[in-house]
Amino acid sequence: MKRPDHDDQRLAYFVSPEPGATNGVQPARPLGTLEEALAAVGRRARAANGRQTARADSDVEIVCGQPGAGGRSRRRPRYHFFVDLAGEGSGGDGTELQPFRDVHSAIEGIAQLRHSGRLELRPGDRIRLSPHRVFAPSRLENWRETKETIAKYIFLAMTMSLVLPVVAILGYLLIRAWPVLTPAFFLENPKNYMTSGGIWAPLVGTFFLVAISLLVAAPIGVLSGVYLNEYARDNWLTRLINLAVVNLAGVPSIVHALFGVGAFVLFAGMGRSVLAASCTLAVMTLPVIITSTREALASVPMAFREACWNMGATRWQTIRTIVLPNSISGILTGVILQVSRAAGETAPILFTGAVFYVPVPDHGWTSFFPYGLGDRCMALSMHLFTLATQVRGVSEETQYGTAVVLIGLVLIVNSVSIGVRSYLRSRKKW
């Protein structure tokens, strides 16, 4: 076995911290052997605590150096041992999970490791002796917390990389549109071949399209979701319907527009009208409502239904009094998201009911209800497309103002959806 003392003639040991030690350099008080350094650690611990049994109240290091060269050391200790702070442990091997019982046991354990050849020191190596605190986080826990912090800031950076461009775009649009964002811009109709005036007519048309499409899609979508989740059996037909609903949600809006032309404008005989455009928007938004309704109903625990059935209630009574009230937040979320999507679509209404210009009265009752179900109407999305591509002489402020109003309408609807969902979720009892 290798003798541990063969190199003690060319090594010196420094016990730190010493008074006057700075920048990792210890004062010239070398000790000739590791045993002398360990004995010095024990004397210091007993003197600091004023008792026969030495306790470790702070970190102590033994630095291995060369005689006359001082105690310069590496940044991290090569060997790290722990001592029970209370001095009442049963003893261990010096690891963080099984610390030494006290400083005396630590000195003996380190000496045994040195004599057995398992503790080899070179100039610059350090042995650190740290107190073990029961409720202090371990190195593994500290490393896990560090990784959690790193991951948190990475995800924060990713989120900010997505949010900041959106905020910058919205800020740019708002700055460019600010000169025209006045009450008159909202309440006046387009004038002088739409080169001046406001957006009242397309704004009212958008409200008409969204409201009628909501009246058509919401009942059908909610009832379809209730049937698929509560009544339909799990067979090939139900799975086919579910697959069709999912695929319908991924169909481009221009395809819905062509479907609306064939189904509502031509086959149903509605012509290009508010009703045909609203029905087309309703078909486009049905998958969102059906899917959100099914997910909301499925989130209600089955135990609620079984408890109600055990009380003698029918399936419909259970759905009406237990399931729907506990899933209303998710259902309303899907319905309100339908509103925001319908307000921003252009292609479905371009072929089915939207028109370049329709005169609308500026005052009176008819200014609020200027369109009938069989009439064609203006819409914000179509109006913005027309101003940007087909009308000459329109100021950029008017175009930016129309875009800001459309984006603001969508953001307001989505914000209302989030607020309603949060409020209803806070009232849940489970």
pLDDT digits (tens, 9 = 90+) for 17-57: 643 344 444 444 677 777 778 788 777 776 666 554 445 55
Query: Quick one: 107 and 153 in the same domain?
Result: no
* Structural domain total, the chain: 3
* Three-state DSSP class for residue 398: helix
Evaluate if residue 360 carries a pLDDT over 70: yes
User: Quick check: 394 and 192 in contact, CB under 8 A?
Assistant: no
Between the alpha carbon of residue 77 and those of residues 62, 63, 156, the distances in Å are 9, 9, 34
Specify the pLDDT at position 136. 64
Q: Are residues 278 and 366 in the same domain?
A: yes
Q: Is 120 left (phi over 0), alpha (psi -120 to 50) or beta?
A: beta
- Residues 313, 288 share a domain: yes
In a domain, 160, yes or no: yes
Same domain flag for 329 and 189:
yes
Same domain, 332 and 422: yes
Residues 175 and 191 in one domain: no
- Per DSSP, the residues of 216-258 read HHHHHHHHHHHIIIII--SSHHHHHHHHHHHHHHTS-HHHHHH
Query: Average pLDDT, stretch 415-427?
Result: 78
Residue 149 predicted with pLDDT over 50: yes
Residues 165, 244, single domain; the answer is no
Torsion sign over Cα 163, 168, 171, 172: negative
Which pTM does this prediction carry?
Answer: 0.66
Residues 171 and 232 reside in one and the same domain: no
Domain of residue 93, residue span = 12-136
Task: Output the six-digit token pair for 410.
Answer: 């969508």
Q: Is residue 2 part of a domain?
A: no
Specify whether 87 is located in the same domain as 155.
no
Does 144 share its domain with 231? no
CATH code (residue 258): 1.10.3720.10
pLDDT at 8 over 70: no
Same-domain check for residues 169 and 243: no
Has residue 5 been placed in a domain? no
Q: Are residues 396 and 301 in the same domain?
A: yes
385 and 194 Cβ atoms separated by less than 8 Å = no
Q: What is the pLDDT of residue 25?
A: 42
Q: Where are the alpha helices (DSSP H) in 77-199?
A: 103-115, 139-177, 183-187
Domain limit, last residue, from 110, 136, 162:
136
- Rounded (5°) CA angle 66-72-78: 90
User: For the segment 213-240, what is each residue's pLDDT rounded down to a tens digit?
Assistant: 999 999 999 999 999 998 988 889 889 9
Task: Grade residue 88 by pLDDT with cuts at 50, 70 and 90.
Answer: low
